[in-house]
Amino acid sequence: MTGGPVLAIETSCDETAAAVVDGRRILANVVASQAALHTPYGGVVPEVAARHHLGTVNAVVDEALAAAGLALDDVAAVAVTQRPGLIGALLVGVATAKALAYAAGKPLVMVDHLHGHICATWLEPTALDPPFVSLVASGGHTRLDLVRDYRAPRLLGQTRDDAAGEAIDKGARLLGLGYPGGPALERLASGGDRAAFRFPVGLGGAGERDFSYAGVKTALLYVVRDLGDGAAARHEDLAASYQEAVVRPLADRLVGAAVEHRVPAVSLGGGVAANGRLRELVAERAAEHGLRVAVPERALCTDNAAMIAAAAAFTPSIAWPDYLALDAVATSPPGGIAA
Ligand code: KG4
Ligand code: ZN
């Protein structure tokens, strides 16, 4: 779609988010996190997430419009995350977006959440233009895409089991840290020796672009068990070595893919992009090959609606009444992205 400010809504997991974006410029980006609500359970509870979205979404949309200084009538289109995600959570966003599009008499754009993560780099000030290779690593996804055109990212590789963030969260839990474990694990790792323990790296072959984290997670479990009472004294080394085993293949395969496909840049997205060791490794590897590294600010790497508005710029819009027939979908399509 083209032209004018877009109001976007994102409710695929545990963030209720709304944003107003005009071209590459973010006018408002509001995120209401439910993280504290789910902490006692050690993970996101789908039904709790959906109910909370329902109570929050209207206020978040109003706040985004107010921050942008616009009324609903001023927007050119409404965009929403259609897939993949928790179905009850997605439904709240999709139903809200349909109602707003109808009320304003504007078209609706149904966006793929992963497409959103990839398009976050299109926004200012990062403003990355293709071609580049994108890594999206979060609690739910781990994937590499070749982006020659923001309209059609090409999947190069993805995780065959756990997502990188999920592996980090599970490892953090084994070391007695709370949920989500990423920031706590990174803090613990900063005082440790990353070569102290040798954890296996999944799918290590040259040219491999997929990821696997089942092995490293199990390896940590056994090492902690075997150390017994001695494990507590080694927590910093365990955290540093485990973090290294999770982020090193991300950096290696991202830069390896960029070199293979002869593109001049790589991008990082998803919550794991906040990890300092991952950024350091990517920067080192990229410098060896003269590649630009594009990392949007943290608020655009974690789940947000500005990235959904960005992807909407590269997704066909749907007019009334056709969008009434479209619904939320929990899964990704076989090609990886519905763009
Ligand atoms: O994108 P995100 O906020 O939510 C989704 O999963 O969609 O990503 C959250 C993930 C969690 O697994 C969290 O532990 C991880 O990102 N994470 C980190 C760091 N900060 C967040 N992982 C490693 N180091 C960090 N500093
Ligand atoms: Zn996400």
Ligand 1 mutation target, pool 11, 272, 297, 302, most atoms within 8 A of CB: 272
- Does ligand 1 have an atom closer than 6 angstroms to the CB of 188? no
pLDDT at 130: 98
Beta bridge mates, 267: 134, 294
The C-alpha torsion from 279 through 154 and 297 to 53, rounded to 10°, is -120
- Does ligand 1 have an atom closer than 6 angstroms to the CB of 182? yes
Cα of first residue to Cα of last residue in the chain, in angstroms, is 12
- Ligand nearest to the backbone CA of 116: 2
Answer whether residue 79 shows pLDDT above 80.
yes
Identity of residue 223? V
pLDDT at 1: 65
Instruction: List pLDDT tens digits, range 252-284.
Output: 999 999 999 999 999 999 999 999 999 999 999
CA 304 – ligand 2 centroid, Å: 8
Q: Which residue has 């109602």 as its token pair?
A: 99
C-alpha to C-alpha distance for 181 and 178, rounded to whole angstroms: 6
Mean per-residue pLDDT, 296-310: 96
- Does ligand 1 have an atom closer than 6 angstroms to the CB of 93? no
CA 104 – ligand 1 centroid, Å: 35
- Does ligand 1 have an atom closer than 6 angstroms to the CB of 243? no
Answer whether residue 202 shows pLDDT above 90.
no
pLDDT at 44: 87
Name the residue at shortest CA distance from atom 6 of ligand 1: 139
Cα–Cα nearest to 329, from 109, 81, 8, 13: 81
C-alpha to C-alpha distance for 135 and 253, rounded to whole angstroms: 9
- Does ligand 1 have an atom closer than 6 angstroms to the CB of 296? no
Q: What percentage of residues in the chain have a pLDDT greater than 70?
A: 99
- Per-residue exposure over 44-61, b if at least 16 CB sit within 10 Å of its own CB, e if not: bbbebbbbbbbebbeebb
Model confidence at 334, in pLDDT bands (50, 70, 90)? confident
Degrees (nearest 5) of the Cα angle 201, 301, 210?
30
The pTM for the full model equals 0.94
Mean per-residue pLDDT, 281-300: 97
Model confidence at 80, in pLDDT bands (50, 70, 90)? very high
Answer whether residue 208 shows pLDDT above 90.
no
What residues have CB less than 8 Å from 86, skipping those under 6 apart? 12, 13, 44, 46, 49, 50, 330
What residues have CB less than 8 Å from 178, skipping those under 6 apart? 39, 172, 184
CA 9 – ligand 2 centroid, Å: 13
- Does ligand 1 have an atom closer than 6 angstroms to the CB of 272? yes
CA 317 – ligand 1 centroid, Å: 31
Answer whether residue 323 shows pLDDT above 70.
yes
Answer whether residue 339 shows pLDDT above 80.
no
Helix 235-260 to helix 164-174 angle (10° resolution) is 170
DSSP track, 119-179:
HGGGSTTT-PPSSEEEEEESSS-EEEEEESSTTS-EEEEEBSSS-HHHHHHHHHHHTT--S
Beta bridge mates, 130: none
- Does ligand 1 have an atom closer than 6 angstroms to the CB of 169? yes
Q: What's the maximum distance between 2 C-alpha atoms anywhere in the chain?
A: 65
Mean per-residue pLDDT, 176-195: 93
> What is the C-alpha R_g of the chain?
20
